[in-house]
């Protein structure tokens, strides 16, 4: 199936009510389940979010996965282990429902990329370097004027190495080549208990487009979170994190947090 590109995502309709029977749900974390903040480490557990995820995992008979740019360990801490299946670092790490962990070997050039990013961050203390083992990211949300300098440095590093540049919302990330969020979704769909389910992928960033494509190709659909002036493969849209949590919570009627 070929996914349709939607030019005006703000005109996309909201998703239909979530019906757990027969579907599999794949959720991004930052910007989808948790608000974007200047410092990634400031995102922590939230009682309502944890409750919703735990009840959804039950209603979906464990066909629920978080697919994030964060590490699997970070996702587990933020969600308080509410979800067994997790893909981290854009799919380079993966933990199955049964607890098996799969990870790509880190690229040797990551250390050099981290050194360059750290030098840029020393010159502008408002920027922050995040090392994830399989990737390194430079966040410039607190210093938006550095956007072009950061992206130029990251593109030069990508051209000189085998690293892959992953540009996101006010962040440039260089990662080990390999899986992406779409391939992570495909891997989960080949495993119990996701096999045969209709996938729904919910995310906010460019990195989530691979997830939208994988969901569409498997007979499901993507849900874009937030406003956007870019093209998207998603078929539906929710305006913000609060709307996502409301939409998810509506699938567990009768439960009280």
Whole-angstrom distance, CA of residue 207 vs CA of residue 75: 17
Domain(s) labelled CATH 3.40.50.1000 in the chain stretch across 9-104+178-249
Contact of 142 with 112, CB cutoff 8 Å: no
> pTM to 2 decimals?
0.89
**Closest by alpha carbon to 17, among 216, 253, 251, 254?**
251
- 110-175 belongs to CATH 3.40.50: no
Tell whether the model's pLDDT for residue 45 goes beyond 90.
yes
The count of residues in the chain is 257
> DSSP assignment of 101-140, as one string?
EEEPPPPTTHHHHHHHHHHHHHHSTT-EEEE-SSEEEEE-
Q: Which residues are catalytic?
A: 28
pLDDT at 37: 87
pLDDT at 1: 46
- Overall average pLDDT of the 223-239 stretch: 89
Of the options 1.10.1740.10, 3.40.50.720, 3.20.20.70, 3.40.50.1000, the CATH number for the domain spanning 9-104+178-249: 3.40.50.1000
Domain(s) labelled CATH 3.90.1070 in the chain stretch across 110-175
Mean pLDDT rounded to a whole number for the chain: 92
């Amino acid at each position: 199936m070929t996914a349709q590109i939607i030019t005006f995502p703000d005109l996309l309709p909201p998703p239909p009510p979530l019906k757990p029977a027969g579907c599999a749900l794949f959720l991004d974390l930052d910007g989808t389940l948790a608000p974007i903040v200047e410092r990634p480490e400031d995102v922590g557990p939230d009682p309502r979010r944890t409750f919703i995820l735990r009840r959804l995992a039950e209603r979906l008979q464990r066909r629920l996965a978080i697919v994030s740019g964060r590490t699997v360990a970070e996702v587990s801490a933020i969600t308080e282990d509410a979800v067994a299946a997790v893909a981290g670092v854009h799919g380079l790490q993966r933990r199955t429902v049964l607890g098996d962990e799969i990870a790509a070997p880190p690229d040797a050039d990551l250390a050099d990329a981290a050194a360059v990013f750290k030098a840029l961050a020393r010159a502008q203390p408002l920027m922050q370097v995040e090392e994830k083992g399989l990737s390194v990211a430079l966040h410039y949300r607190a210093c938006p004027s550095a956007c072009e300098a950061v992206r130029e440095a990251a593109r030069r590093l990508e051209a000189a190495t085998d690293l892959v540049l992953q540009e996101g919302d006010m962040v440039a990330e260089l990662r080990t080549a390999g899986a992406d969020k779409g391939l992570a979704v495909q891997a989960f769909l080949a495993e119990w208990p996701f096999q045969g389910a209709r996938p729904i992928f919910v995310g906010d960033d460019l990195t989530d487009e691979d997830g939208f494509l994988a969901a569409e190709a498997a007979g499901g659909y993507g849900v874009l979170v937030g406003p956007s002036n870019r093209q998207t493969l998603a078929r539906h849209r929710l305006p913000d994190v609060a709307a996502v949590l409301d939409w998810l919570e509506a699938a567990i009627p009768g439960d009280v947090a």
